[in-house]
Structure 1
């Protein structure tokens, strides 16, 4: 598993005008090639009267399914420049369709490359792009004398408390970034004088989305 990667949380739409031609970029997060192809077909139906619906998608942590299409534009002037933007920004699990309504003025090879590249950049700027980081759900079990110290350690390290149980003992589930696990365990052991037991429950990815921590199972 990658320790972190960039992806699209919420897609968006951007538009540019280049010599009277409209370029509309629609961005969508996708988890499979089937999802990407369904999105492309959706855009083709929506913009059925457009001259071109060029696309790019990249799915998988090793970019196992990565494709692009010029859709009738001169070879290498649309799909590849669109892919170069995705690769350049290092974004995974994303699909982009750039729809062109021809304005009657030829742009030339260089003009098309610039227009399709800028359209994708504009679409991504209108989307919510996040960085997912690898972490774990850590189960911490202690007595009531240790709860205050664990809450303090969680607060000091910015560790969200995912869940809590209060019975004859206290159980907290903490979200801990993968690169902080050993340090956090050490602090909890020292802070509770060894009265806390800890167990990794599962690996998760997490990200900050508009100031809120979101979590995904790996």
Structure 2
């Protein structure tokens, strides 16, 4: 997989009340676990008075890069239905939080599944879906005298460091489309006669 489908930007949507309960879905793009969980934490802080803040996220790292939580609802009635809505649209690098304010009437297992899944679906339907390359992060460590060689290779691939630290040597990280990753690593080693330390971050 060299291209993924994801959401362009954050979306929030509140459904009509379900037997008095409010369901508010918030979603956003998330490129890694930290971003996904930061978004979840922010929604929990924003809606700290809510009865439940259930969530699911799916990342493009691999098929096992997902997580969901029922946050106190009966097992399988909240987080998994949210994840199913993400997966049903073949989306990755996205996090969805559905917040519930209990309205006084229990919905039952089926009602909860429909409510949480429906809230996630309604928000996802309002999101702009985009395709973008899957990227890998490449770390490069090299002495200053190799700066020209390294920059020349990156320019050939139309890339620039996402971050660079200047200590005894230069330590840079580059986000590279997965389709070009191995070719870039080989080109860097070749251009620096193996003096640059090149490794993919996990």
- Is the structural similarity TM-score above 0.5? yes
Assess if the C-alpha contact under 8 Å between 2:56 and 2:66 holds in 1: yes
Give the aligned partner of residue 148 of structure 2: none
Match of residue 157, structure 2, among 186, 202, 206: 202
Give SS of 2:74's match.
coil
- Structure 2: 5+ residue stretches without partners: 135-154, 160-174, 178-202
Question: 1:40 & 1:61 partners in 2: Cα distance?
Answer: 19
RMSD: 2.1
Larger Rg: 1
Query: How far does residue 65 in structure 1 lie from its aligned partner after superposition?
Result: 2.5
Question: 2:158 & 2:73 partners in 1: Cα distance?
Answer: 44
Give the aligned partner of residue 10 of structure 2: 11
Query: How far does residue 117 in structure 1 lie from its aligned partner after superposition?
Result: 0.6
Assess if the C-alpha contact under 8 Å between 1:13 and 1:127 holds in 2: no
Query: How far does residue 64 in structure 1 lie from its aligned partner after superposition?
Result: 4.1
Query: How far does residue 201 in structure 1 lie from its aligned partner after superposition?
Result: 3.7
From the superposition, tell whether residues 35 and 133 of structure 1 become closer, same or farther in structure 2 (CA, over 3 Å).
closer
Give the aligned partner of residue 50 of structure 1: 50
Structure-1-length-normalised TM-score: 0.60
Give the aligned partner of residue 139 of structure 1: none
Question: 1:109 & 1:93 partners in 2: Cα distance?
Answer: 28
Give SS of 1:14's match.
strand
Query: How far does residue 133 in structure 1 lie from its aligned partner after superposition?
Result: 5.7
Give the aligned partner of residue 27 of structure 1: 27
Give the aligned partner of residue 59 of structure 2: 59
Give the aligned partner of residue 189 of structure 1: none
Give the aligned partner of residue 77 of structure 2: 77
Give SS of 1:6's match.
strand
Give the aligned partner of residue 113 of structure 2: 113
Question: 2:158 & 2:77 partners in 1: Cα distance?
Answer: 41
Q: For 1:89-128, list aligned pairs within 5 A.
A: 89-128=89-128
Question: 1:9 & 1:97 partners in 2: Cα distance?
Answer: 16
Question: 2:40 & 2:82 partners in 1: Cα distance?
Answer: 14
Question: 2:38 & 2:28 partners in 1: Cα distance?
Answer: 11
Structure-2-length-normalised TM-score: 0.65
Structure with more of its chain in strand, by fraction: 1
Give SS of 2:53's match.
strand
Question: 1:29 & 1:100 partners in 2: Cα distance?
Answer: 21
Assess if the C-alpha contact under 8 Å between 1:203 and 1:217 holds in 2: no
Question: 1:201 & 1:83 partners in 2: Cα distance?
Answer: 39
User: Aligned residues, how many?
Assistant: 141
